[in-house]
Amino acid sequence: MNGIANLALIFVVIVIVGYLIARTIKKNKNEVVENAEVDDKTFTLDKMVKFVKQRLDEITKINLYDIGLSEEELKRRRAKKYELKKALKGCTYGDVNDKKYVKELIYDLLSKEYGVDETNISKAIPFDTPSLLTSQDKFDIIIHEYKKSFSYEALSELIKKYNLDDLKYIEGESKPCYVITKEEIDDIYEKENFALDFTDKLEVVVQRIYQKYKGYSSIDEIRDMNIDGVSGGTSGLPESFLSQVAQTDSDYLKQAMESKIPRACDAIWIFFHGKSIRLAFLSFGTEAELKRVCQNIYKYNNPGQLSDTNGYKINEMKDGSRVVVVRPSMCETWAFFVRKFDVKRATLEQIVLFDGKEETIELLKFLVKGARIISLTGEQGCRKNNNAYGND
């Protein structure tokens, strides 16, 4: 009997030990999976934006007198702190030099502190899997590569090379229009077949983080280009209309969503050689992001607060661009217009293109020298005010 009892006891012990071992193995596997998921999320754009905000906030708010620096080191750190605070403020006004300084600092923070390297950078943007890239990802990569050769003429060269400013028919429209579609960007990206190294990938990621943090969202790089202008929120259905329709006619709202009718936050237009071209492949994503851009883009030289009682602001940016911002309830949605003025390209020989232009140019010169009143009339986009070449 004692032998049977001992065997039964041994059996019970073995079962309990086996159960504990199995439970431990399962727990370890779950921890590995959870750690892997945390690791994946660590290198997403949202996580990196949060890290950059926190680190730059720490750098600009640290009390240098509390950390026991030498006098020379204190002066050096104080100068760097002042320079960073000045750059963080100036980059929101359209200063490309301040923007470059902030982006270089973000690059260093990500590569030296955050631990971004070749093994994890594709978790932020799937560079190695083209099928997973969004239209904005592809456009950002294209502009980054073109800027190496053409600097701020990158967008102009891209449009000219692929004739993106031609009239075209798109699905659902009865008339041709000026638009750059998602399919065209996909086709260009495939044709260009860029070979990106780690530095290129990180610079694209840095730009995306910058435009979410201090820049102008999807139009940040576009605004810097040598084009005639850019606008946002100027077409499409406003959020106020969609919310109102949702309460009264859910069937219409469902139909609108299924047909993918553009919203106001999807409306991004550029002015190029007198043509208004819609960038159908880009979007601000949400009305909140469009609102953030509108609230920041006009702030140079403190023109005053854009409020419900004062629903518009007309100002200029640091590079001389003219900016107009409007908001509800003056209009249906938040919107902005930026017109750029590139004086070095504004020559009469470029503006006047018809036969016999030499006599017209000479006549204009004498009219201006004689301080005569000149009236120019014509339809919108016919270049009567020379906006296409940056000279009002």
pLDDT digits (tens, 9 = 90+) for 274-284: 789 999 999 99
The yes-or-no verdict on residue 15 having pLDDT over 80 is no
More confident residue, 61 or 257: 61
The CA distance from 164 to 156, in Å, is: 10
- Mean pLDDT, rounded, for 249-268: 69
* E-only strand ranges, 156-240: 179-180, 229-232
The CA distance from 73 to 14, in Å, is: 67
The CA distance from 207 to 209, in Å, is: 5
274 contact partners, CB below 8 Å, separation of at least 6? 228, 381, 382, 383, 387, 388
Amino acid at 274: G
pLDDT confidence of residue 41: 62
CA distances from 118 to 38, 47, 136, 270 (A): 18, 18, 21, 35
Q: State how far Cα 325 lies from the chain centre.
A: 18
Q: What does the pLDDT look like over 94-120, one tens digit per residue? A: 899 999 999 999 999 999 999 899 999
The yes-or-no verdict on residue 10 having pLDDT over 80 is no
Q: How confident is the model at residue 387 (pLDDT cuts 50, 70, 90)?
A: very low
Question: Sheet containing 268-272: which strands, arranged edge to edge?
Answer: 179-180, 275-279, 268-272, 229-232, 335-339, 322-326, 312-316
Average the pLDDT over each of 239-248, 286-295, 320-329 and give the range with the smallest value.
239-248
The yes-or-no verdict on residue 346 having pLDDT over 60 is no
Q: State how far Cα 164 lies from the chain centre.
A: 20
Angle, nearest 10°, between helix axes 198-213 and 45-61?
A: 70
The CA distance from 199 to 197, in Å, is: 6
Asked if 144 and 150 touch (Cβ cutoff 8 Å), the reply is no
Q: What does the pLDDT look like over 117-156, one tens digit per residue? A: 999 999 999 999 999 999 999 999 999 999 999 999 999 9
**Mean pLDDT, all residues of the chain:** 83
Q: Residue 269, Cβ neighbours under 10 Å: how many? A: 21
Q: Which two three-digit tokens encode residue 181?
A: 């579609």
